[in-house]
Structure 1
Amino acid sequence: MTSFAELGIDQDIVDTLAAKGIVDSFPIQEQTIPLSLPGQDVIGQAKTGTGKTFGFGIPVVQRLGLNPEPGVKALIVVPTRELAVQVYEDMDLLTSGRSTSVVAIYGGKAYEGQIDQLKAGAQIVVGTPGRLIDLAGQRLLDLSHATEVVLDEADKMLDLGFLPDIEKIFQRVPEKRHTQLFSATMPGPIIALARRFMVNPIHIRATDPDEGLTQANIRHIVYRAHALDKVEIVARILQAEGRGKTVIFTRTKRAAQKLVDELNDRGFSAAAVHGDMGQEQRERSMASFKAGKKDVLIATDVAARGIDVDDVTHVINHTIPEDEKAYLHRVGRTGRAGRTGIAVTFVDWDDLHKWALINRALDFGQPEPTETYSSSPHLYTDLAIPAGTKGRLTKAPITAAVRTTEGESERRPRRRRPAEDGAAPAAAAEGAGTHDGEGREHHDGKPAPARRRRRRRPSGQAPQGA
C-alpha cells in the first residue's frame, strides 16, 4: 500500500487523516489523486466502500488552497440526502485544518440554515440536484466560480432520473473547470455524459486482478424463505456469533417500519431510514447507528448509497433487489475498508425469476436458493447461530408491578366490581370469570349483553326481581 504522504498531499491533510488512523491509501485513491492534483479530468470507477470520497475530496481541498476566497469554488453533486450528509462529513474532516468552509445542500431541511452558510462564504458545496437547482434558480447559490466539479455515484443519478438536472447544473458552472466523475458502475449514458462535459478524461478502474464482479471479502448466502417466517429468521441471524452492525434492506417503506417495530418489540436495538420519515428523523437514525447506539438499521434503497460505516458485518436483503446493480450497492455496505462481511438474501417464491437474472449477471453459481425456515439446521450452521437460539431477546411485557418495602416486586391485584347486593363476592371456581374462548363471557363470568343492558337502565329503576 502507498501512504498518503507519498502521494504529494499537503502535510496538514496527511496529519488530519493520520489523527483518525487513516495512513495508507486505497487503490482508487492511489491511482486518481496524483492525476487530479494537477487538474486532469478523471473518471474513477471502483466498488462501493473503496474510498472514492477521499479520492476526489483530497484533490478538491488541496487545489482550493489553504485560504480560498469566500464564495462557492467547488461543487460536489450526489444523488441522495444520506450520501450528501456522508460526503459533507468527510469533506469537513479534510478541511478541519484550513479556513475552507463546507455546506451541505439537500431537501428535507429548512432553507434558512443552508442559505446562511452560503451567505457566510462557504467555498465547498455538497448537494443533491433538486435543492441545488432550486437555490440557484432563486439566485441564492452562485455557481459561476465553481471551478472544481465532482459527480459522485453518477450511476445512481442515472437510476433516479437526475441526468437532465445534471445538465442544468453544468450550464451554471464555468466552462473552464476541473471535473471528476466517480461511480461504481459505468453504464452507457454515464459515459456519454462524461464525453459531453469533461475534457479528455482518464478512466481509472481500480479492481484487484483476482476480483470478480462481487467483492471477494463478502460471503453471499441466498435462501428461499417464506414471507411469514422472515422476521423469525432475521431475529435468529441477529444473534449469530460475531454479529456486529447490521443493515437490513426492504422493498417498501411500510415493510421497513413494520420490521423495525417488530424487532424492537423482540428486544433488538433497531432504527429505520425510509421515505416516510422526516429528514431529521432519518439523520438521527443514521447518527445512532454510526455511533453504535443502534446496531440494526432497516432501510429502503433510498439509503443504500449513504450508509458509509466500516464495521457493518452483515447485510440482509429482506426482499430481493430489483437487479444486479441494486444488489451490489446493497451488499456493498459490508466488507468495507478491507474487512470481511456476510450478505444474506431472502428470495420469495414469486421472485425466483429475479434471482435467476441476478445469479446469471453476477456469476454466483447458485441458480436454486436453498429452501430455509427459522428451524432449519443449516441456518444455524451457515451463520454460526448458537444452538437453541430463539427469535426473541426479551419476554413479552407483563402487567404493572408494585414495589414492596423489601425492594421486591409483586403483581398488582386486579380491582373487582362490588357485588350488587353488597355481599362479598364468593371465591370463583378455577377457570370461571374468564373468556371461554368463544367470546360469551367477560371477566365477571356473566354474559356480556346482560351487563350492557344493566348499564343502560335508567337511574332509579329497580332491577327485575328486586
Structure 2
Amino acid sequence: MVQKIENFEDLKLNKQILNAIHEAGYQEPTLIQQKAIPLSLSGHDIMGIAQTGTGKTAAFVLPLLMKLKYAQGNDPRALILTPTRELAIQVQKNIEKYCTYLDLRHTVIFGGSGAKAQIESFNDGMDIIVATPGRFMDLYRNRTFITKQIKTLVIDEADKMMDMGFMPQIRQILEIIPVKRQNLLFSATMPESVMKLSEEFLEFPEVVEVTPQASTVDAIEQKLFKVPNFKTKINLLGHLLNKEEFTKVIVFVKTKGNADNIFKFIERKITKSVKVIHGNKGQNTRINSIDSFKDGDTQILVSTDVTARGLDVSMVSHVINFDVPLIYEDYVHRIGRTGRAKNDGVAITFCNMAEEYYIKKIQKLINKEIDLFKIPEGIEIEKTPFIENQEMLREIDHQKRKENPDFKGAFHDKKKKKKKR
C-alpha cells in the first residue's frame, strides 16, 4: 500500500533539508513533489510532465540533495541542464535556499557573460552544476572540470530545449558523462521531439504527470481581445494598465523592437515603475530588472519570451500577451507566470487578424476556448496603416499556404505572360 503523503516529513527528507524548506515557507508538498520525490529517492529514471508553477524544481532538487548528502571529492556528481540562463539562475537560487544547512558545493554556468568567474567557482571542488548546454560544453573542452563522477542528470524544460535546437549539444553531453547514472527529464508538454529525446537516454522511466499536457492552471482567468492593429493595441494596453487592480504585470511581446517601444510608451504615459528585458540587454541588466520586479520595486515588466520560463515571481496579478506567441506551447508558459502558488491570476491576449490563426492552434492545444471580450468603450480604434495591413495579409496568405500548399493568395508570384508573336 502506497503511503499517503501529507507533509514534507512523510517524504523521508533529512532534518537539514526539512529546516531549510520550512524556513522558505513551504507548507506542504505539491502533487509533482509527492509523486516524483519518492521515485527519485528510490533511484528510478523519471519522465515528469508538469507545467511551470507546479513546484517541479523542488521535485528534482530535494531528492538530489538527499542523495549527495555532503561535499565529496573535487569533481561534480550531478548535472542539471536548462534551456535558458534565466531558468538556470532560478534553479541555482532554489538550490542555494534548500542547501542552507548543507555544505554541498553548487554553481551555475551559462553563456552571454564572461567565463572567468564561472571557471573560478570550480577551484575548491564542485558537487552540483546547473548549466545551459552550450556553456557546459565550452567549459568541459576548456578542462575546467571532469565529468566521470556525474551520477545524476536532470534535463529541465525539455520541450523548450528542443524548440531552441539543443539536441546536438545534449547528445554531445550524453557521450562525455558516465553511462551508469540516474536520469530525470521534466517537460511541460510532450511533443514528438521530447519523446525521441527520452527514448535516447531514459531507461524504463516512471512517468509522473500531474496535469494534462499543455493544460493551463485553473486559477487563471483567460481573456481575448480582437484588436485591429499595433496602435489600437497600445491604446488598449494604456487603458488596462491605468486600472488599480493591475498591480504586478508582465507584458509579453514577440520582438526586441516592440519590447523597447512598449517600454518607452509605459514609462512616458503610465508609470516610471517599469523595466524591459530581452536578448539585447546585458546579463546583469536582465538579472537586476527581474530582481526589482520580484521584490516589488517595479510594477510592470516588459519582456520577450526569454523569461516565459524560469521566472518564478509570486503575486503577479496579470499577464498581457501584447502579441500572440508563434510557438503555441509558449502561451502556456507565458500565462503560467500568474496564478502561481494557489493565487488567482488573469491572462489577457491581444489578437489582430493575422494572429487569429495562432489563437485557434493555442485553443486546440489547451483544449479550451479563450473567452472573447469587446474592446471597452472610449478606446480609440486607430486606422490600420497600409504597410501594417499588407504585412498582415501576407502573413494570412502564408498561413493558408501552410495548411494548403496549392493555395494561391494575393501575394503569390505571378507568372509572366508570354508575348504573342
TM-score range, shorter chain: 0.7 to 0.9
Q: Deviations over 1:28-65 (max 9, x none)?
A: 00000001012111111112110010000001111001
Structure 2 residue 25 is matched with structure 1 residue 35: no
Moved >4 Å (runs of 4+): none
Instruction: Please point out which of 232, 238, 243 is paired with 1:240.
Output: 243
For 1:394, the equivalent position in structure 2 comes to none
For 2:409, the equivalent position in structure 1 comes to none
Greater Cα offset, 260-269 or 109-118? 260-269
Structure 2 residue 198 is matched with structure 1 residue 194: yes
For 1:59, the equivalent position in structure 2 comes to 63
Q: Deviations over 1:270-315 (max 9, x none)?
A: 1111011111111111111111111211111111112111211110
Larger gyration radius, structure 1 or structure 2: 1
Unaligned runs of 5+ in 2: 381-421
Amino acid in structure 1 at the alignment position of 2:242: Q
Quote how far apart the aligned CAs of 1:370 are. 4.0
Q: Distance in 2 between matches of 1:298 and 1:342?
A: 16
Instruction: Please point out which of 17, 22, 39 is paired with 2:21.
Output: 17
How has the CA–CA distance of structure 1 residues 22 and 4 changed in structure 2, closer, same or farther, with 3 Å as cutoff? same
Instruction: Please point out which of 260, 263, 266 is paired with 1:260.
Output: 263
For 1:222, the equivalent position in structure 2 comes to 224
Amino acid in structure 1 at the alignment position of 2:341: A
Q: Distance in 2 between matches of 1:326 and 1:337?
A: 20
Q: Distance in 1 between matches of 2:343 and 2:92?
A: 24
Q: Distance in 2 between matches of 1:134 and 1:34?
A: 34
Unaligned runs of 5+ in 1: 378-466
Quote how far apart the aligned CAs of 1:267 are. 4.1
Aligned 1:421-460 pairs, distance under 5 A: none
For 2:299, the equivalent position in structure 1 comes to 295
Structure 2 residue 183 is matched with structure 1 residue 179: yes
Structure 1 counterpart SS, 2:207: strand
Amino acid in structure 2 at the alignment position of 1:288: S
Amino acid in structure 1 at the alignment position of 2:42: P
How has the CA–CA distance of structure 1 residues 207 and 354 changed in structure 2, closer, same or farther, with 3 Å as cutoff? closer
Q: Distance in 2 between matches of 1:201 and 1:214?
A: 25
Greater Cα offset, 222-231 or 20-29? 222-231
Q: Distance in 2 between matches of 1:266 and 1:319?
A: 20
Aligned 1:263-274 pairs, distance under 5 A: 263-268=266-271, 269-274=273-278
Instruction: Please point out which of 307, 317, 320 is paired with 1:316.
Output: 320
Instruction: Please point out which of 99, 102, 108 is paired with 1:104.
Output: 108
Q: Distance in 2 between matches of 1:233 and 1:23?
A: 39
Quote how far apart the aligned CAs of 1:101 are. 1.4
For 2:91, the equivalent position in structure 1 comes to 87
Structure 2 residue 243 is matched with structure 1 residue 249: no
Cα pair 2:75 2:145 within 8 Å, conserved = no
Structure 2 residue 176 is matched with structure 1 residue 168: no
Cα pair 1:45 1:204 within 8 Å, conserved = yes
Q: Distance in 2 between matches of 1:227 and 1:61?
A: 49
TM-score by length of 2: 0.85
Q: Distance in 2 between matches of 1:143 and 1:203?
A: 27
Amino acid in structure 1 at the alignment position of 2:220: I
Q: Deviations over 1:117-144 (max 9, x none)?
A: 0122121110101101111111113222
Instruction: Please point out which of 350, 355, 359 is paired with 1:355.
Output: 359
Quote how far apart the aligned CAs of 1:227 are. 1.3
Greater Cα offset, 128-137 or 188-197? 188-197
Quote how far apart the aligned CAs of 1:108 are. 1.6
Amino acid in structure 2 at the alignment position of 1:220: Q
Cα pair 2:30 2:54 within 8 Å, conserved = yes
TM-score by length of 1: 0.77
Quote how far apart the aligned CAs of 1:360 are. 3.1
For 1:126, the equivalent position in structure 2 comes to 130
Quote how far apart the aligned CAs of 1:366 are. 4.6
Structure 2 counterpart SS, 1:145: coil
Quote how far apart the aligned CAs of 1:174 are. 0.8
For 2:155, the equivalent position in structure 1 comes to 151
Cα pair 2:45 2:204 within 8 Å, conserved = yes
